[in-house]
Amino acid sequence: MLQYQRSSYPREYRYASGITKTLILEDFSIGHARGTTSVSSEPSVASRMLGRTYDIRVPAMAETGRQDMTHAENVANGARGQKPDRNSRDSRNSEDGNGKESLLELIPWIVVPVVVFALIRVFLIGLYVIPSGSMLDTIQLKDRVAAVKVIKPQRGDIVVFSDPDNWLANGEGDDLIKRVIGLPGDTVSCAGNGAPVEVNGVAIDESTYLKAGVNPSDEAFSVTVADGMMWVMGDNRSGSADSRAHQSDSHGGQVPLSDVQGVAVFTFWPLGRMHVLDGHHEVFVDVPDAGTSD
């Protein structure tokens, strides 16, 4: 019987004649091509195996015993975790490379939408907070609205525009929102006291968007809209300081078309009040073009 106890290099091997060649290494049994291979079933061998003491039966040949010991050492090293071979490293490197490539492929899907949204936000869509209740019940106070910047205003459109003449003297922001009633060349008038508003001599029915219970205008007025200007009024006529209230200003209550930030198309916040903003162009369908009124 040869007993091999793992120790630091150099190792010494003691062996004697045996009938069979058997190597027991932890839970490994290794035989060789020559001779008969068998696994020892001696309890003493199993107990010593767990303590990393190895019993090996070999022929009485020093070189054979040395080969067995070398093989035992190699297996032991492998059992404890041998170094990955080159193919394994290449495989992991390939996986890492594929991961980086996948990440690079995702970049356009992240960057492009962000850039597109930024361009839309800057050049196409404006987002605004309503500063007053002048557009009740169409738009509530502090609602958030989206306005398209590239649409040319028409009669009936709800527009967001920059303060033309200190209409917001109380510091409630720089932008206002009203409904367009008259465009350049239009004559807009009202006899007051509940009479309908007229555009180019045609009375219009504004009941579809006026706040319930309010008159089209309690005060009388008559104006001709100048070139490059527009006449605007709130849907909550009794609570709107619109063009009517600023006729003594430098623009006579009219708003430069160049001050228009965009045509409001929908409210988006709060979610419970999200809806499309209607221009109600049908209200003005019978209004003749400017300068052709009867």
Cβ proximity of 267 and 141 under 8 Å: no
Place of tokens 């297996």: 75
* 3-state DSSP assignment of residue 264: strand
Calpha distance 162→149 (Å, rounded): 13
Is 178 a residue of the active site? Answer: yes
Residue 233, Cβ density class (10 Å: 0-12 exposed, 13-18 middle, ≥19 buried): buried
The secondary structure of the chain in percent helix, strand, coil, rounded to multiples of 5, reads: 30, 25, 45
Calpha distance 20→103 (Å, rounded): 59
Q: Which listed residue (178, 189, 240, 243) is catalytic?
A: 178
Place of tokens 């005060």: 219
Is 134 a residue of the active site? Answer: yes
Q: Which listed residue (40, 132, 134, 217) is catalytic?
A: 134
Backbone angles phi, psi at 120, to 5 degrees: -60, -45
Residue 190 CA: distances (Å) to CA of 7, 146, 174, 217, 248 = 111, 31, 29, 7, 18
The dihedral sign for the CA sequence 118, 123, 125, 128: positive
Catalytic residues: 134, 178
